[in-house]
Amino acid sequence: MLLALLPLLGCAALFALVTWQVAAHGPLRSADERLGRSLFGDGPASVTELLADLGSTTVAVPVLTAAAVYVVWRGRDWLRALAAALAMAAVPALVLPLKLWIARPGPLEPGTGLYPSGHTATAAVAYGAAALLLAPYSRLRLRPWVMPIAGMLTLATGVGLVLRGYHWPLDVVGSLCLCGVLLLVLRSVLRWPCVLHRERAGPDYDAGSAADGR
């Protein structure tokens, strides 16, 4: 049991460390700002802007919505879809108070409230939750790629945000740690017997999945 909790505890501990350093103007924050200034402006602006936009609500949330609609249509997985939607709703509930409390100034533009990165959090939970929903419906040869693709989209968002100067690197790291906790909790919830599609669907689902390679 404790071994299963280690990833969650690790994400939570790293998030606490990063948040403390950013809030207290610690040495990690100073190093972060030096690193950020050296990275701002690298790469083609059109590409980095596109990457940063992967974390906007107009791009990421529809991906999760489509995944939720698919699993409801395909397998009547209402509880799984609801759990993913609640995880997405938890993002602003967690991120916005932290932004107001930390009130970190932006790298290149006036204003505060940069920590943690909302775009990174939106990308992490939207793509991660979509992958968790779709994995049971993916063909066996594609299933191992579902979560890595979600991870690559999230990392691409963070890279774009930093290179465009919208966020400091630790803004992105803090969001990844916070949303790592959210996604690990969501994964555990989706494994509860009451929300497992296989538990509800019975032998017909198993036979059908085996027949078409899922």
Task: State which amino acid sits at residue 47.
Answer: V
Provide the pLDDT for residue 194.
63
Percent of the chain with pLDDT over 90: 75
**Exposed, middle or buried, 48 (CB in 10 Å: 0-12/13-18/19+)?**
buried
Task: State which amino acid sits at residue 16.
Answer: A
Res. 195 pLDDT band, cuts 50 70 90:
low
Residue 7 has pLDDT above 60, yes or no: yes
* CA of residue 139 relative to chain centroid, distance: 23
Span 85-96, pLDDT tens digits = 999 999 999 999
Contact 67, 126 (CB under 8 A): no
Provide the pLDDT for residue 197.
53
* CA of residue 42 relative to chain centroid, distance: 24
CA–CA gap between residue 207 and residue 14 (Å, rounded): 43
Residue 213 has pLDDT above 80, yes or no: no
Task: Round to the nearest angstrom and report the end-to-end CA distance of the chain.
Answer: 29
Span 51-76, pLDDT tens digits = 999 999 999 999 999 999 999 999 88
Q: What is the mean pLDDT of the chain?
A: 89
**Exposed, middle or buried, 193 (CB in 10 Å: 0-12/13-18/19+)?**
exposed
Provide the pLDDT for residue 200.
43
| DSSP 8-state secondary structure symbol assigned to residue 105 | P
CA–CA gap between residue 172 and residue 104 (Å, rounded): 13
Span 102-160, pLDDT tens digits = 999 988 877 889 999 999 999 999 999 999 999 998 888 888 899 999 999 999 999 99
Better-scored residue on pLDDT, 77 or 122: 122
Span 199-212, pLDDT tens digits = 444 333 333 343 34
Determine the length of the chain.
214
19-32 average pLDDT score: 97
